[in-house]
Chains A and B, each alone.
Chain A
Amino acid sequence: MQFLFKTAYNDDIRFLAKTGEKVRVSIVVIFLLAAPLFLQDYYLAELGLLLVYAIAGIGLMLLTGHTGQVSFGHAGFLGIGAYAHSVLLTVGFPFLLSILTSTAIAGLVGMALGRSASKMHGFYLAIATLAFGILIETLFGEWSSVTGGHMGYAVPALQVFGVPLTEVWQQYYVDLLFALFVVVGAANLFRSPTGRSFVAVRDSELSARCLGVNVEWVKIQSFGISAAITGLAGALLAHHLTYLAPDVFGVLESLKLLLMIVVGGLGTILGAILGAIVISLLPVGLSFLKGALPPAIGQTAGLEPLLFGMIIVLVIVFEPAGLYGRWMKIRFFFETFPYYRKSSFVRQKSYLKTERMR
């Protein structure tokens, strides 16, 4: 067991207070920084893609995991970021300005969606966001004068300050830079009033309101920030795809994002990252599986969505806290060995919430 003696309020504000955490995070960051030295291009590109999905996952996590607002249409924001960025680059915007503008556009659309969604709950919210996702996908298809419609849209090559970054490792570092920025920023949110107001709205709108939280405005903010971050991921994703098509940003992609954060563990930034890892490894595992299965099953179309759905269900049934929750248990096991008891993680019975207002 590790005891933490706190001597200043700053200890609670500082990131990574425990030595173990510091070491683990440093190892991961060093690995990521050094990856181009030992990874082949193929794997490096996959790693870059993983980082992009981690960014998108963090975006959705802020909204669904932290503010408690589900979104079945987040691929729409991924698409808005991707298309806006590509179009702006084509028009001649420099890279940084273009990525900033497309992030802002996605954020504004997110705020608009948040405004209409701020009074909805549960099922209605799910349907509204799903409809939004479908609407955006349709828009990409129909607005062909700008998006190229179903013919697709060629993404201009990556070029920063006039320097072409066409090598895989160069693009990888661009992804890494943005990923680190977003991870630190999201963590910052949760050690400051904005992030706390998100969590407050998730856990009890009623008392949040009575403590001075403008619940509708917080939801609009959360939608906005979430959409902006997901839009940023979309802009980076565009460079990986090199060719945009509307159906890339459809309902299945939205489900994939949702799967990521559910598998990783709702409500933590680390959960979003773990989820991104699973999603990135899934196709690899799937191709193994396809080889191993008899062709009649292995070659069936729709195996992937089926697997997605199955994983979501299994996670929700067996480990609602996701991979992050599992990790906490494993760590707790080693820290308290040999005193681990399963009951440490059995939640207390929660008190009745049915008569909320009375």
Chain B
Amino acid sequence: MIIRGLLLLLLIMARNTYAEPSAERQAALRELVQQDCGACHGLTRKGGIGPSLLPDALTAKTDDYLITTILNGRPGTAMPPWRSFISQVEAEWLVDNLLRK
């Protein structure tokens, strides 16, 4: 029973650490951020009609807040919802690996 529980835990942990987009999707997301997010946030992410998305500008903001913004957009502003093109897992990866770095 305990062993089973441990195994399950291991499995979940493994799943979590490996919950990231495929290499192909990562490349596509990188391109999406540069080109399509870049249309409003700038190719270098230093800002345009949307604010800067450089690490410095985001330090005070939580992952959850950023992920929610990306997936749902911000009604009443020019920030559109991306959930038809970006999954939850992809948004998490994007924030951790593209925006925070």
A and B: real partners?
A: no
